[in-house]
């Protein structure tokens, strides 16, 4: 049989080219490589699982090839420990069945008051740690812990003083096999601000590098990126991390943002980010937050209670397509100067509660798609909304299929020209009072009440409603074939 040339990667280092028969076993190959100090390494199968030495006789080379390559790796796995979404420590552990009570002892930085947290956000009591293994809380080789005291005396006091005094960005990137030898961006390729070596220090896993917006990893694993800014040079954060798909954690708690005015698309397209620490982010001068978290698909919760939004005018698509977002704290939002709320919460499919009761909307002109496809919402309090300047409400509640209650009594629609599909697919909204709505003769109300529900929808309208618009509503009911009863008040 003709021999083939194989590339063999030992701990991800491409150092060996061997001509081999494709049908030889891994045990035979290990014997041929005995001069390369691989006794503590294991072959990796094409399913990315380690092959035990006792099983090497059962596998041939061709059965474990990954893109034509052979991999030998150490079984030692590094696990990153986050405390309140800030890096606490990194430990080596390959035993996924180790009890949390024993895992706790692997890091000297874990204190008694720190609690492990499940991927669902449930706190594990210390007394229960001897019944739960690390694999029960592990997610992408990351373990999360929490502590009630948010001042976080992490590691030691010297470190804390350093965190406060230094202006830096800390990122965590998880690299898989397909990312090896590829450009992995940690700052957006589209970010156009002038960044250079003279005012930035770049560290990757504690090693200093010449500044760039990307790096080229040589092996799988978790990479910690620290960008130290020697001057306060980032004032425009628009597109800063846009489409940086491999980032899983962003810590901006030590980033000096007091001069930032633009955050548009800042985290947009960070598909894999699960944690963003913005606890100390100063937004007092920001005027644009449009598309801020657009397509942060794996973000489950975000606390923006510290945000000062008094100068913000644009919140368009701010949380668009955050499809796994479950909790959000925007209780501090001052929206008095906001003009666009287009697509604000669009496709936040898992949000069950959104507190917008304190929103000042007197200057908002566009509410199109604002709550569309918020499929888990049962009710939303918009009773305080001032809509005097709004011209577009089309698709505002489109696809809110579980919405059962909606108080629109305070809505002033005298300037609204687009109502089309406003309540489309609100299947459970069977009582709808729009008796205070003013329908201008030229406004678009096509599909406004279409719901396709079996039970009849009771639609309350003002008895002095524009007769042309009333005719259009009745025609919609007839055309779409859904059951509805118009009640005049």
Q: Which residues contact 156 (CB under 8 A, 6 or more apart)?
A: none
Q: How confident is the model at residue 163 (pLDDT cuts 50, 70, 90)?
A: very low
pLDDT at 160: 36
User: What's the Cα-to-Cα distance from 55 to each of 48, 72, 74, 96, rounded to whole Å?
Assistant: 16, 15, 17, 21
228-283 confidence digits (pLDDT tens) = 887 666 788 999 999 999 999 999 988 989 889 999 999 999 999 999 999 889 99
Q: In the numeric block, which tokens belong to residue 248?
A: 């899983």
In sequence order, which ranges of 131-173 are alpha helices (DSSP H)? Answer: 157-165
In whole angstroms, give the CA distance from residue 234 to residue 390: 34
Number of H helices, E strands in the chain: 4, 21
Does 389 score more than 70 pLDDT?
yes
In whole angstroms, give the CA distance from residue 320 to residue 298: 13
Look up the CATH architecture of domain 4-74: Roll (3.10)
Q: Which of 83-97, 282-296, 415-429 has the lowest mean pLDDT?
A: 83-97
Does 84 score more than 80 pLDDT?
no
For residue 6, the surrounding DSSP H or E stretch is strand 4-10
CATH topology of domain 78-146: Ubiquitin-like (UB roll) (3.10.20)
First to last CA, the chain: 90
pLDDT at 455: 63
User: What's the Cα-to-Cα distance from 202 to each of 235, 267, 454, rounded to whole Å?
Assistant: 19, 20, 61
**Mean pLDDT, the chain, integer:** 86
Pairing of strands 115-117, 4-10: unpaired
**Residue 475: which of 434, 440, 442, 446 has the closest Cα?**
446
Work out the average pLDDT over 294-308: 93
Q: Which of 49-58, 111-120, 239-248, 414-423 has the lowest mean pLDDT?
A: 49-58
Which is more confidently placed, 433 or 97?
433
121-145 confidence digits (pLDDT tens) = 788 888 889 888 888 888 767 888 8
3-class SS at 163? helix
Maximum CA pair distance of the chain?
93
Domain residue limits, the chain = 4-74, 78-146
Burial label for 125, CB within 10 Å (0-12, 13-18, 19+), is exposed
pLDDT at 38: 86
Give me the sign of the Cα torsion angle 7, 10, 14, 18: negative
pLDDT at 211: 85
Which is more confidently placed, 161 or 462?
462
Q: Structure pTM?
A: 0.68
Residue 259 contacts residue 232 (beta carbons within 8 Å): yes
In whole angstroms, give the CA distance from residue 272 to residue 248: 5
pLDDT at 159: 38
pLDDT at 40: 80
pLDDT at 1: 57
Same fold, 4-74 and 78-146: yes
171-201 confidence digits (pLDDT tens) = 999 999 999 999 999 998 777 565 655 678 8
In whole angstroms, give the CA distance from residue 441 to residue 38: 81
3-class SS at 431? strand
Does 484 score more than 70 pLDDT?
yes
Does 456 score more than 70 pLDDT?
no
Q: In the numeric block, which tokens belong to residue 40?
A: 């503590």
Does 64 score more than 60 pLDDT?
yes
């Amino acid at each position: 049989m003709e021999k083939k040339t194989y590339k063999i990667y030992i701990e991800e280092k491409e150092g060996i080219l061997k001509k081999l028969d494709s049908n030889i076993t891994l045990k035979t190959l290990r014997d041929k490589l005995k001069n390369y100090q691989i006794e503590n390494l294991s072959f990796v199968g094409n399913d990315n699982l380690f092959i035990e030495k006792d099983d090497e006789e059962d596998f041939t080379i061709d059965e474990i090839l990954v893109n034509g390559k052979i991999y030998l790796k150490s079984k030692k796995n590094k696990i990153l420990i986050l405390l309140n979404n800030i890096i606490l420590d990194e430990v080596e552990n390959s035993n996924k069945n180790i009890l949390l009570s024993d895992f706790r002892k692997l890091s000297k930085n874990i204190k008694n008051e720190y609690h492990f947290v499940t991927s669902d956000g449930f706190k594990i009591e210390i007394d229960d740690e001897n019944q739960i293994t690390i694999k029960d809380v592990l997610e992408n080789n990351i373990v999360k812990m929490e502590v009630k005291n948010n001042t976080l005396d992490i590691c030691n006091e010297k470190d804390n003083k350093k965190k406060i005094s230094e202006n830096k960005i800390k990122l965590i990137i998880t690299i898989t096999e397909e990312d090896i030898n590829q450009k992995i961006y940690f700052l957006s390729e589209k970010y156009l601000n002038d960044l250079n070596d003279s005012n930035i220090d770049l560290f990757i896993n504690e090693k200093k590098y010449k500044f760039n917006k990307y790096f080229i990893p040589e092996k799988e694993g978790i990479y910690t990126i620290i960008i130290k800014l020697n001057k306060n040079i980032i004032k425009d954060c628009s597109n800063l991390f846009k489409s940086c798909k491999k980032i899983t954690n962003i810590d901006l708690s030590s980033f000096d943002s007091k001069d930032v005015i633009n955050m548009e698309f800042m985290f947009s397209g960070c598909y894999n980010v699960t944690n963003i620490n913005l606890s100390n982010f100063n937004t007092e001068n920001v005027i644009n937050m449009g598309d801020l978290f657009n397509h942060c698909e794996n973000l489950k919760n975000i606390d923006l209670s510290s945000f000062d939004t008094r100068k913000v005018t644009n919140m368009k698509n701010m949380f668009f397509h955050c499809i796994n977002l479950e909790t959000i704290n925007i209780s501090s939002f001052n929206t008095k100067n906001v003009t666009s709320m287009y697509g604000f919460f669009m496709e936040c499919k898992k949000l069950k509660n959104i507190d917008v009761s304190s929103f000042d909307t007197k200057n908002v002109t566009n509410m199109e798609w604002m709550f569309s496809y918020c499929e888990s919402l049962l009710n939303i309090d918009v009773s305080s909304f001032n809509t005097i300047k709004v011209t577009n409400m089309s698709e505002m509640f489109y696809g809110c299929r579980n919405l059962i209650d909606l108080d629109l009594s305070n809505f002033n629609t005298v300037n609204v020209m687009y109502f089309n599909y406003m309540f489309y697919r609100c299947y459970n909204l069977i009582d709808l009072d729009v008796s205070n709505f003013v329908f201008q003769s030229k406004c678009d109300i096509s599909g406004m009440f279409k719901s396709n529900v079996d039970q009849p929808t009771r639609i309350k309208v003002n008895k002095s409603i524009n007769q042309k618009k009333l005719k259009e509503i009745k025609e919609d009911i007839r055309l779409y074939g859904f059951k509805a009863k118009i009640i005049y008040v």
